[in-house]
Structure 1
Amino acid sequence: MALNARAAQPKHFDIVYPQIQPGGDVHAAFALAVLDLAMKAANADYTVRQAKVVMERGRALAELVNGDTIDLHWTSMDDQAERGLNVVHIPIHRGLIGYRVFIIRKDRQPDFDRINSLDDLKALTAGQGLGWIDTEIMRRAGLNVQTSTYETLFTMTQGGRVDYFPRGVIEAFAELDARKHVVPDLVVENRLLLLYRSDFLFYVARGQKELAATIEQGFTAAYRDGSYMKLFNSHPYIQNPLRQANLAGRKIIGLDNPYLSEADRRIPGEYWMH
Structure 2
Amino acid sequence: MAALGAAGVTLGARAVPAEPFDIVYPRIRPGGDVHAAFALAVLDLAMKTANAAYTVRQAEIVMERGRALAELAHGHNTINLHWTSMEAAAERGLNVVRIPIHRGLIGYRVFVIRKDRQRDFDKIERFSDLKAFTCGQGLGWIDADILKAAGLDVQTSTYETMFKMTQSGRVDYFPRGVVEAFAELDGRQHREPDLVVENRLMLKYRSDFIFYVATGQEVLADTIEKGLVQAYRDGTYLRLFNSHPYIQDALVRTKPASRKTFHLENPYLSEADRRIPRDYWMS
Q: TM-score, normalised by structure 1?
A: 0.96
- 1:54 is aligned to 2:78: no
In structure 2, C-alpha distance between the alignment counterparts of 1:132 and 1:256, rounded to whole Å:
16
The equivalent of 2:195 in structure 1 is 186
The equivalent of 2:92 in structure 1 is 83
The equivalent of 2:31 in structure 1 is 23
- 1:105 is aligned to 2:94: no
Preserved contact between residue 115 and residue 196 of structure 2 (Cα < 8 Å):
yes
- 1:33 is aligned to 2:41: yes
Residues 214 and 9 of structure 1, relative CA distance in 2, 3 Å threshold: closer
The equivalent of 1:227 in structure 2 is 236
In structure 1, C-alpha distance between the alignment counterparts of 2:35 and 2:244, rounded to whole Å:
12
Structure 1 gap segments, 5+ residues each: 1-6
Secondary structure at 1:22's aligned position in 2? coil
In structure 2, C-alpha distance between the alignment counterparts of 1:35 and 1:117, rounded to whole Å:
39
Give a deviation string over 1:48-94, Cα, whole Å, max 9, x none: 00000000000000000112200000000000001210000000000
Q: What letter corresponds to residue 249 of structure 1 in structure 2? A: S
Give the length in aligned residue pairs: 268
- 1:204 is aligned to 2:213: yes
Match of 1:156 among 147, 154, 165: 165
Q: What letter corresponds to residue 27 of structure 1 in structure 2? A: H
Match of 2:139 among 130, 135, 150: 130
Residues 9 and 100 of structure 1, relative CA distance in 2, 3 Å threshold: closer
Structure 2 gap segments, 5+ residues each: 1-14
Residues 235 and 8 of structure 1, relative CA distance in 2, 3 Å threshold: closer
How far is 1:158 from its partner? 0.3
The equivalent of 2:11 in structure 1 is none
Match of 2:267 among 239, 243, 258: 258
Secondary structure at 2:199's aligned position in 1? coil
Residues 265 and 174 of structure 1, relative CA distance in 2, 3 Å threshold: same
Structure holding more helix per residue: 1
How far is 1:247 from its partner? 1.2
- 1:42 is aligned to 2:63: no
State the superposition RMSD in angstroms: 1.2
In structure 1, C-alpha distance between the alignment counterparts of 2:141 and 2:277, rounded to whole Å:
24
- 4+ residue segments displaced more than 3 Å: none
- 1:166 is aligned to 2:172: no
How far is 1:8 from its partner? 10
Identity of aligned residues (%): 73
In structure 1, C-alpha distance between the alignment counterparts of 2:229 and 2:34, rounded to whole Å:
25
Secondary structure at 1:229's aligned position in 2? helix
In structure 2, C-alpha distance between the alignment counterparts of 1:210 and 1:116, rounded to whole Å:
49
Residues 8 and 201 of structure 1, relative CA distance in 2, 3 Å threshold: closer
Match of 1:64 among 57, 62, 72: 72
Secondary structure at 1:74's aligned position in 2? strand
